Chain A
């Protein structure tokens, strides 16, 4: 690989990996690459989420659209989201097994003097691959609504594959923390201070993995950021490492589609309009 010199090959070092978060350091790339990765993880990694809700019965105190919205935000296991088609790519007219998952919810409160919780555990999925996530048997599930005696909710939900650019419910990330230059050596930020910068601005946790400035260090105005700290926390629908892997894959797909667009453009170097307009 001669694109990078021997000393500045891009590196990734995973600092921490648990079931719901990953922390890694990306080095020897530029800010645009790190930022592209961050943006794709937030808004372009595909997951499954409830997208349509058909109300057969709703005698609860909550309005239909309120419940539908809450259902949409429930994380569904999306580890196998790539096995399902985007609804717009499917040949069917509405929703079929290739492009959607049906989930049913039917709860009625029959007890006197108590309220019954309707939770994500009451959702019954038709496809075992795409179910509401749980954190084990102790998990009480995500509260959707509360019912009083005699109240009932019966709905049919259609979950579909999508990306968060369309609706935030499809984002696999709860948070993506992104930082570079924790010591502000590049002076990309200016700290507003009362008296003492060190006292008023505590160091970030990434500072321990960075190189502190020397006391007499001269400001290098040509320096560029090349060490990026990421921390991704998932919503539970996908493993954190899968989010990063899918983001890389998506980024490659995006670049290739532009590459194909460039090569299919048989425009000669000087003049002449493109053969076909887009829209």
Chain B
């Protein structure tokens, strides 16, 4: 009856704010960034990028409550800069890095795909999975396609 929608875990209604910035009232150059509808995936990755900056004195993240699907990132910087600027830089660097990795993956995919037998063809001749470039592959017995043991809940990860 009053149960929240299942997609409430990750879906932010259009028009609502994604982030709320609260400057620290007592500490200079410190602020908390509350990101709505995000989890450890983004919290950890942003914290990690922030800690790589020499101007960042402190960066940490937490998920204060398991039923509220928001992350809090706290940042304190030196006098040279502001927390907002460092978070902006961290996000920019992340975009560059992920974009670069994606391009790298696509590049290598071309090489890898050339060595693969298409799935339909493979099932017709019922042969062993392809071995690539002399890298040893574990033998695998044929598996029954069945989805086992999935419960009534989504994948909820805290690790």
Instruction: Report Cα–Cα, A124/B5, bound state, in Å.
Output: 29
Contact A135 B123 (CB under 8 A): yes
- B86: min CB distance to chain A, Å: 11
- A68: min CB distance to chain B, Å: 11
- B57: min CB distance to chain A, Å: 16
Contact residues on B (Cβ < 8 Å of other chain), bracket = 35 or more
Contact B23 A276 (CB under 8 A): no
Interface code B80-111, partner A: CB below 8 Å = 1, 0 otherwise? 00101001100111111111111011101101
Contact A35 B20 (CB under 8 A): no
A152 lies within 8 A of chain B by Cβ: no
A80 lies within 8 A of chain B by Cβ: no
Contact residues on A (Cβ < 8 Å of other chain), bracket = 35 or more
Q: Which residue in chain A gives the minimum CB-CB distance to B93?
A: A3
Given contacts A36-B44, A269-B82, are A258 and B17 in contact (CB under 8 A)?
no
Instruction: Report Cα–Cα, A244/B157, bound state, in Å.
Output: 19
A-B contact count (CB 8 A): 216
Contact B18 A11 (CB under 8 A): no
Q: Which residue in chain B gives the minimum CB-CB distance to A241?
A: B109
A-B contact pairs, 16 of them (CB 8 A): A10-B97, A10-B101, A16-B137, A26-B101, A30-B48, A32-B45, A43-B154, A44-B41, A139-B123, A165-B10, A165-B156, A249-B102, A251-B98, A254-B38, A255-B94, A258-B42
B residues within 8 Å of A by Cβ? 6-7, 9-11, 16-21, 23, 25, 33, 35-36, 38, 40-42, 44-49, 82, 84, 87-88, 91-102, 104-106, 108-109, 111-113, 115-116, 118-120, 122-124, 126, 129-132, 135-138, 145-147, 150-157
Beyond A136-B120, A208-B136, A245-B106, 4 additional contacts (C-beta under 8 Å) are: A19-B118, A255-B98, A258-B18, A278-B20
